[in-house]
Amino acid sequence: MLKWLFMAILAFCLVFDFFAERHHAHFWGDHVVEFWAMFGLAGCMGMIVFCKGLSHVWLERDTDHYDK
């Protein structure tokens, strides 16, 4: 139920963007329809892959690493 409500809100956002006013555009991205939706999705997924990957291959240590 909650899942479908969430999906409905996302769908509404997507549709709304076709009719949004773009007076306050700061740069080219503000003129692209669904720009911020793509930015959010790609940014979020990219960040998870990048950060978790970096942690996994390099940064991650036991919590008592410095005590050893």
Residue 13 near other proteins by CB under 8 A: yes
Tell whether residue 15 is a contact of other proteins (CB under 8 A).
no
31 binds other proteins (CB under 8 A): no
Q: Which of 1, 5, 37, 57 binds other proteins (CB under 8 A)?
A: 37
Q: Does 4 bind other proteins (CB under 8 A)?
A: no
Q: Cβ(31)–Cβ(22) under 8 Å?
A: yes
By CB under 8 A, tell whether 65 contacts other proteins. Answer: yes
What CA–CA distance (Å, rounded) separates 46 from 54?
Answer: 12
- Contacts of 34 by beta carbon, 8 Å cutoff, 6+ apart: 14, 17
Cα 41 to Cα 30: distance, rounded to the nearest angstrom: 16
For the bound state, the minimum distance from the C-beta of residue 1 to other proteins, rounded and expressed in Å, comes to 15
